[in-house]
């Protein structure tokens, strides 16, 4: 896995965290390339909407249109099979959320390389939502996203410990789905899925 920064030599501390996440997870989670991008694309309409997000995962099945030149060069490199792009906003985040974001995207890499069945997770998440969390709008609860968030939660817990993770989850909602209840939902879902780790 290559970790690249744009511009070069920026954010060494975040590079170390990316490596730490990669070391914690199995090799199938790591993309061939990670880009830590300090550019601000929020007002740049020439690039894809993805570059206005916190982070995204790219692989060869996806488009290369409307991508900034320095990222396109990488995507065109035959050694680049999949890539995780991290935004300036993500880089400026506190460490625990940054690790969460990286681990979430790394799980998407894993999802593309392994064929995971989401049946059990889908069933359990629907049951839980129907039983206790109907206040949460159900639309952003896509099962691949839930799976990535569960993996991110596990990784953040193992790197920062239970106490720091619990404090973080109580203090602020997750940017991708900013409802405080969602973090509770995730924690309950994790418990409901325990014992099914192998299928996940
Ligand atoms: Zn995602």
In degrees and rounded to multiples of 5, residue 61 shows phi and psi of: -80, -15
- Between the CA of 7 and the centroid of ligand 1 the distance, in Å, is 25
As for how many domains the chain has, the answer is 2
Task: Answer yes or no: do 125 and 109 share one domain.
Answer: no
Task: Answer yes or no: do 27 and 109 share one domain.
Answer: yes
- Between the CA of 149 and the centroid of ligand 1 the distance, in Å, is 8
- Does the residue 200 lie in any domain? no
Domain hosting residue 131, numbered range: 119-193
Residue 13 has pLDDT above 50, yes or no: yes
How far is 47 from 49, CA to CA, in rounded Å? 7
- Does the residue 199 lie in any domain? no
Task: Answer yes or no: do 106 and 30 share one domain.
Answer: yes
- Between the CA of 182 and the centroid of ligand 1 the distance, in Å, is 15
Q: Which residues surround ligand 1, an ion (CB under 5 A)?
A: 145, 148
pLDDT bucket at 199, cuts 50 / 70 / 90? very low
- Does the residue 198 lie in any domain? no
pLDDT in the model for residue 162: 97
Task: Answer yes or no: do 144 and 182 share one domain.
Answer: yes
- Between the CA of 12 and the centroid of ligand 1 the distance, in Å, is 24
- Between the CA of 139 and the centroid of ligand 1 the distance, in Å, is 14
Cβ-in-10-Å burial (0-12, 13-18, 19+) of 174 comes to buried
Residue 156 has pLDDT above 70, yes or no: yes
In degrees and rounded to multiples of 5, residue 94 shows phi and psi of: -65, 155
The domain spanning residue 101 has which CATH number? 3.30.2010
Whole-prediction pTM value?
Answer: 0.94
Instruction: Answer with the one of 113, 145, 178 that is the final residue of a domain.
Output: 113
CB atoms within 10 A of CB 6: 17
Q: How big is the chain by its Cα radius of gyration, in Å?
A: 17
Q: What is the mean pLDDT of residues 179-187?
A: 93
């Amino acid at each position: 896995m290559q970790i690249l920064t744009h511009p070069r030599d920026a954010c060494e501390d975040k590079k170390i965290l990316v490596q730490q996440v990669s070391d914690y997870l199995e090799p199938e989670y790591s993309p061939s390339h990670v880009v830590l991008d300090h550019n601000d694309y929020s007002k740049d309409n020439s690039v894809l909407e993805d570059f206005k997000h916190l982070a995204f995962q790219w692989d060869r099945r996806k488009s290369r249109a409307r991508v900034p030149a320095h990222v396109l060069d990488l995507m065109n490199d035959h050694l680049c099979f999949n890539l995780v792009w991290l935004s300036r906003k993500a880089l400026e985040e506190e460490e625990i959320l940054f690790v969460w974001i990286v681990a979430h995207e790394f799980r998407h890499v894993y999802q593309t390389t392994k064929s995971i069945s989401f049946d059990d997770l889908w069933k359990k998440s629907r049951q839980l939502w129907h039983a206790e969390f109907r206040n949460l709008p159900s639309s952003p609860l896509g099962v691949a996203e839930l799976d990535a968030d569960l993996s991110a939660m596990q990784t953040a817990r193992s790197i920062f410990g239970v106490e720091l993770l619990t404090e973080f989850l109580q203090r602020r909602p997750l940017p991708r789905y900013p409802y405080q209840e969602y973090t509770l939902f995730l924690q309950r879902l994790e418990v409901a899925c325990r014992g099914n780790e192998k299928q996940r």
